[in-house]
Structures are given as structure tokens and as C-alpha cells.
Homo-oligomer: A and B are copies of this chain.
Amino acid sequence: MEKEKKLVEAITSMDKNFAQWYTDVVLKAELCDYSSVRGCMIIRPYGYAIWENIQKYLDDAFKATGHENVYMPLFIPESLLQKEKDHVEGFAPEVAWVTHGGEEKLTERLCVRPTSETLFCEHWAKIVQSYKDLPKLYNQWCSVVRWEKTTRPFLRTTEFLWQEGHTIHATAEEAEEETIRMLDVYADACENLLAIPVLRGRKTDKEKFAGAVSTYTVESLMHDGKALQCATSHYFGDGFAQAFGIQYSDKNGKLQYVHETSWGFTTRSIGALIMVHGDDSGLVLPPRVAPVQVVIVPIATHKPGVAEKAEELRQRLNKVVRTKLDATDKMPGWKFSEYEMKGIPVRLEVGPKDIEKGQVVLVRRDTREKIVVAMDAVETKVTELLETIQVALLEKARRTQNEKTFTVQTVEELRDALDRQAGFAKAMWCGDQACEDKVKEVATATSRCIPFEQEKAGETCLCCGKPAKHLVVWGRAY
């Protein structure tokens, strides 16, 4: 039992030091490791398996909504990046520059893609002629690089994995519809796959994507009350189309500019997963995204029949859920700790007494509840229990989010409230960026979004006291 104790002790309590707890979990659950490249992480098998489940879910949703996958180059010539003015201003300061190929100095610097709008636009300008060529609904899975000053595993890394959807449409209406459709795909993935409740809304101009007309976001709240942007969807109007000359001839043979969108979901979501559901024993994974849904831990394996029964259960269960059997000679207690750390939703214990009684013991990772079920019914019981856990995790996270959501009237109230307890703070805003800047200065909070579900929390702006235009949700964010 010494090793078990040691393993548990090695994790910082989340209430004592949340940042350290987070780092402990990502390392000890073997989600990732640091590399010798500044700000770049190694995604280890367990972390990558979570990402593969996210990819599968999103990729299916993209294809079901008519999107096709493509692959664009890793590099963007400097002149191409510069074609859209706002875009280059947003990204140029934080890109990695390739200046040499082999021994040869390049005549033009290439940046490692921070995002690929410019590449998609250049391609579309070549291949789009007629309204019959529209829409183009493309997506790509890749990594991108942004030269970050301070980095944290999954949350902010110099290189990260993501998908970037890019689409062009004949009309502004169609493009706007697409922007919201994909935001809804993201909200669905957050809530139904990751069990993370989200707030859907529009970013203020200050917070929107470089080059976008409007940016929509799904925002979530972590255990420590800090906000995290889970994914964004951008509507570009015809700004890029004008900069890149992407035109089509409409039904009347008249040349028109296309209307464009882009949207992205990143490995950051794994950071959210950890910080929404985790506890002092480590990760807690929602069953639908868990690489292993049930781990079988046989008890007293030296007793006759136990190893065989455990293997039989593995084979039966693996037909309906992702199952792992740990038949190693480690102590059961040590295994319990390890799989709790890894957040496996259900542990199945089976020993000589259980076999005698024709039963197994199921232990929930989220509540630690022990449930004795008949061995004959194990497939049904485990499947049901996983569904129950999935629902319970979302409900629990929603309760936490509600508890940490409050309304304030002034920027000072906002500051005091956030100092007491971080969370989503609702307050009215006049729409003026000067007031948004002041919120940052006084309350060190940013506007998370202008939620789609507007309510009237007051009449006047939290800063200037002038008539308010929008309800904004403010917070301190990752």
C-alpha cells in the first residue's frame, strides 16, 4: 500500500493550488509530457486517444453537414499572409519564420501557418468560377503554430492540434447561417460528448478574430471559476474575397464576391475537460470521450478461477464498451489509484466471493458509489451506468456553472465579486470599447461574449452609466 499512498500524495489538492493540481494531473494521468522545444508538448497515447475520440465525433458531424476534408500547405509566404490587412496585423507578431531551406537562404520568408485563411483564399480564387461551384465546405485537421510567450499544456502551447473549417458561399445569409450551424456543432460536442455546458454568444469587436466581421464563441467555466473559450466560429463577409479576388458569376452572369466563414476546435478542449470534471484523485472522464470506459481489476488473482473470469468478462464487455483488463501483479489498491488518476468512468472488481455469489462490483469514478450487479446482466448494467454518469457529469457541471454565475451593476461590483469568487458575471454594456478597456483595467476581466440569450440585467452601462445596449458576460479567462 506504500506505493498507492505515494501516488495519491503526489498530487496537489485543487483547492490549495489549482494551477499546480492541473499540471500534476496532465503529467500523472500521462496525457502529455514536456519536450525540449519551447512551448511544444508531446501528446502521449492516453491524451491522444482522447483527441481521437473528439476528432471522430466532430469529423462525423462535419461530414453529416456536407463538409469535405482537405490539406493545405504548412507554410505561408510572407506576401500571402499580408494580403488581408487586419489578418496580418493580428498574426504576424506571433508566427514562426522559416528563412532557410537546407543550405539555401530563401528569397522570401515563409511563416509556419498560425491559421490557414490565406491559403484557402488563394486556392479558391483559382478554382471558383460560377455560382454552380458554391458553396465550398472544407475542413482540415492539422497543427498550427503561434509563438506564445507563456505556455501551459493543452491550454496555451506554441504548437497545437486543431481542425479549421473554411467555407465560401454565394450570399452573406448563407455564410452567416453556416457560422451559427458550426457553432451549434461545437456546442453539441462540448455538451454531449465532453459534458461541458457552454454559453453561446458573439464576441465584442475587441475580442473578435483578426479579419472577421463577427466571431461567435462557446464559453465554458472551469472548476476554479475562470472562463475558457472552447471554440469559435467566424463570419468574414466578403473582406477576404475582395483581398484575394474570389469572385463567381451569378445566374445572370454578373460577377459577385463570395462570403466566407471559418471555425476551429483545438486540443485546448482537453484542458477544459480536465478542469471541469477533475478532482483531487485526478482526471474524471465523461464516458463518451473516455478511451477506456471500464477497467476490470481482478481481486486475489492467485485464487482459482479469478483470472479466467476476469478475462471472460473482458471479452463480453469489450463487445459493448471500451474495456481494459489489468491482469498485472500490481496491488489492487495501486491499480485503483492509477485508474482513478486516469479518470476511467467505471471500475469493475471481481474476486472469489463475487464469483461465488454470481456478481461483480461496479465503482463509479465520479461519485465513488459502489454498485453490486448480477454477473449475467453485466453488459446491460455497465452500459446503463455509463449513460447515467455521462448525464450526471453534465448536470453537475451545469449546477456549478449556475452557482458561479451572477449579475452586477457596476465595474467596481464586478471587481469585488470576481475577487471573492471567479465566475461568469453578467452586466450591461453601452457597446463602447473604452468601457470594455476600463473593465479590463479596473476588474482585470474580459468580455467573454454577448450571449444569444439576452436579458435585461439593468438599464445602464457598468462603466459609463450611459444607456446600455447589450448584456455581456464578463470573466477572468484562460
Residues of A within 8 A of B (CB): 33, 35-37, 40-45, 48-49, 51-52, 68-77, 80, 93-104, 110, 112, 119, 122-123, 126-127, 138, 142-143, 145, 147, 158-159, 161
Contacts and interface: CB of A to CB of B under 8 A. Distances in A.
Contact of A71 (B43, B68, B138): B43
B103 A73 contact: no
Contacts of A102: 93-95, 147
A70 B44 contact: yes
Nearest to A142: B143
Most buried by B among A73, A74, A123: A73
Contact of A126 (B33, B71, B93): B33
Which 8 pairs across A and B sit closest by C-beta, in order of nearness? A40-B73, A45-B68, A101-B147, A43-B71, A97-B100, A102-B147, A37-B73, A99-B99
A74 B40 contact: yes
B80 A68 contact: no
Contacts of A49: 68-69
A73 B42 contact: yes
B73 A159 contact: yes
A48 B33 contact: no
A78 to B, nearest CB: 11
Contacts of A48: 68-71
Given A42-B119, A51-B71, A52-B69, 20 more contacts: A36-B122, A37-B73, A37-B76, A37-B77, A40-B74, A43-B71, A44-B70, A45-B68, A45-B69, A48-B69, A49-B69, A71-B161, A74-B112, A96-B100, A96-B101, A98-B99, A99-B99, A101-B158, A102-B147, A104-B147
B74 A45 contact: no
A123 B42 contact: yes
13 contacts: A35-B73, A35-B122, A36-B77, A41-B73, A45-B68, A48-B70, A49-B68, A75-B159, A96-B98, A96-B100, A96-B110, A97-B98, A97-B99
Contact of A40 (B75, B96, B126, B145): B75
Contacts of A68: 45, 48-49
Contacts of A99: 97-100
